[in-house]
A = this chain, B = another copy of it.
Amino acid sequence: MNPSGLEALIEALRCLPGIGPKSAQRLAYHLMQHDRAGAARLGDAIQHALQAIRHCQRCNTFTELDICERCASPRRDPSLLCVVETPVDMNMMEQTQAYQGLYYVLMGRISPMDGIGPRDLALERLLARASDGLVREVILATNYTNEGEATAHYIMAMLKARDINVTRIARGVPVGGELEYVDAGTLAQALRERKLLGSS
């Protein structure tokens, strides 16, 4: 019913989460009818990003370098390693201006409901990163959701055997809340009140 190139576009748009067949058709019509310049930019941006964007070998965030600028900076404290779920969460931590250490970005969380287990997060990379001999404290800054808590507990158990203090940012983050939606002051408070884990 649509020409094949348009059908292919509609089908391809369905790789976007939350876009069903009707929405995909509407988006495709919109692009072809009203915003060919935008579509061209989008096509170029996708192809450039696929070529340019990779994960930092140290902190796992998105970067166009082997080692991202933050990990390469001599001004950061290499004895502190803050574990967050996403690059957005890392940016939230930075905005508190209360942290000068380094990061590890999980790029997800343990979530049995979504079929995401510890193996999917490649936590052995975090273990290796935390075992570089410089890290003295791993600060777990995963969300205070069920999944974030489960992730923190799993990582805590994994690191407990090593000579590394594992702390958790304080529950200043509202229970069930996500870092992305918390103001910087609350988050700075939570960071200050972080507590030692695994020392019972």
Q: Is the CB of A50 within 8 A of B43?
A: yes
A-B CB contact pairs (8 Å), 22 listed: A2-B62, A2-B87, A3-B62, A3-B64, A6-B49, A8-B48, A9-B53, A13-B45, A15-B35, A15-B42, A16-B31, A16-B42, A17-B30, A28-B49, A29-B62, A29-B86, A31-B46, A31-B49, A33-B107, A39-B46, A39-B49, A46-B46
Name the residue on B nearest A65 (C-beta).
B3
Q: How many residues of A contact B (CB 8 A)?
A: 52
**A→B interface (CB under 8 Å):** 1-6, 8-9, 11-13, 15-17, 25-33, 35-36, 38-53, 62-64, 68, 86-88, 91, 94, 107-108
Min CB distance A192 to B, Å, is: 23
Q: Is the CB of A36 within 8 A of B50?
A: yes
**Residues on the B chain within 8 Å of A42, using CB:** 12-13, 15-16, 46
